[in-house]
Amino acid sequence: MKIITWNCCLKLSSKFEAIKKLNADILIIQECEKLPKDYFPDAEYHWTGHQDNKGIGVLLFNSTAEVDKAFNDKLDYFLPLNLDNGIKLLATWSFTHRAAGRFGDGHLGHVSDALSYYREWLAETDQGIIAGDFNNSIIWDKGNKESNFLNTNSRLNSLGYQSVYHQLSGEDFGAETAATLYHTKKKDKIYHIDYIYLKGIKPISADVGIYEDWIKLSDHMPLSIATDTENFFKS
């Protein structure tokens, strides 16, 4: 099974062929537009967002899913899906509190908000996936705020979820050698802020896209992981 998360930086419809070539089974896309469900003939498409041109989408190429009944439209950049094999997926596009405030009306945009709201749902499953653009890194932590990435990672670990990239690379958080974001598309402004966490699923590889291959499409690089779950999908 191959899982990919990528912030496409708008207009997925014009960039889809590039990411499709990576042959994902599950594709989580941030900052993509709302498209008709039949737009992707080879995939099941789920989407949520506050603005039609900028939301979070999930494409399933070898499975089906239903949005969990606990879905909270005040957390509409987090999409909880129950896959047809019992695995739970929380597709994630986290904002800073400053950015989330622009939406008003009580909208919550930080991953810490989603973890609080979906905690029981995430904890009750034996197998789970949390993947997306967290917009956060331990290098930005200050004090002991709930929104600090160190606290976020600790909360995820307590629920049984581990970051695949860090698990396989052995690298420390904040000292990653592979960047997932090149701020303003500059090669010297590098950050690792996109993550895939797994629970009860064994990863076998993790790869980050190469700057030269993706920078014309987005300031984010796709993060891809593979697992050894041969019978992951229903026949």
CATH number of the domain encompassing residue 196: 3.60.10.10
Residue type, 14: S
Domain that holds residue 169: 2-227
Tally of CA atoms within 13 A in the half-sphere of 11 that contains its CB: 5
Q: Is residue 96 part of a domain?
A: yes
Q: Place 231 in a pLDDT band, splitting at 50, 70 and 90.
A: very low
66: how many CB neighbours lie within 10 A of its CB?
11
Indicate whether 235 belongs to any domain.
no
Tell me the average pLDDT of the chain. 92
Q: Does residue 51 surpass a pLDDT of 50?
A: yes
DSSP run (H or E) holding 148: none
- Does the pLDDT at position 68 exceed 90? yes
**DSSP code for 40:** S
- C-alpha 213/C-alpha 215 separation (Å) is 6
pLDDT at 147: 85
CA–CA separation, 31 and 11 (whole Å): 8
**Domains identified in the chain, total number:** 1
**161-181 per-residue burial string, b: 16 or more CB within 10 A, e: under 16:** bbbbbbeeeeeebeebebbbb
C-alpha distance from residue 8 to each of 96, 111, 215, 231 (Å): 18, 19, 10, 30
Query: Does 19 reside within a domain?
Result: yes
Residue 187 lies in a domain: yes
84 in any annotated domain: yes
Using pLDDT thresholds of 50, 70 and 90, give the confidence band for residue 234. very low
Q: Cα(191)–Cα(54) distance, rounded to whole angstroms?
A: 22
For 54-70, what is the mean pLDDT? 96
pLDDT bin (cut points 50, 70, 90) of residue 50 is: confident
| 146 compared with 181, residue with greater pLDDT | 181
More confident residue, 76 or 14: 14
How far apart are alpha carbons 215 and 139 in whole angstroms?
23
Is the per-residue pLDDT at 98 higher than 60?
A: no
Q: Is residue 234 part of a domain?
A: no
Is 12 part of a structural domain of the chain? yes
Q: Quick check: 59 and 79 in contact, CB under 8 A?
A: no
13 part of a folded domain? yes
- 94: pLDDT confidence band, cut at 50, 70 and 90? very high
pLDDT confidence of 124, banded at 50, 70, 90? very high
Confidence band for 76, pLDDT divided at 50, 70 and 90: confident
Over residues 31-56, the mean pLDDT reads 93
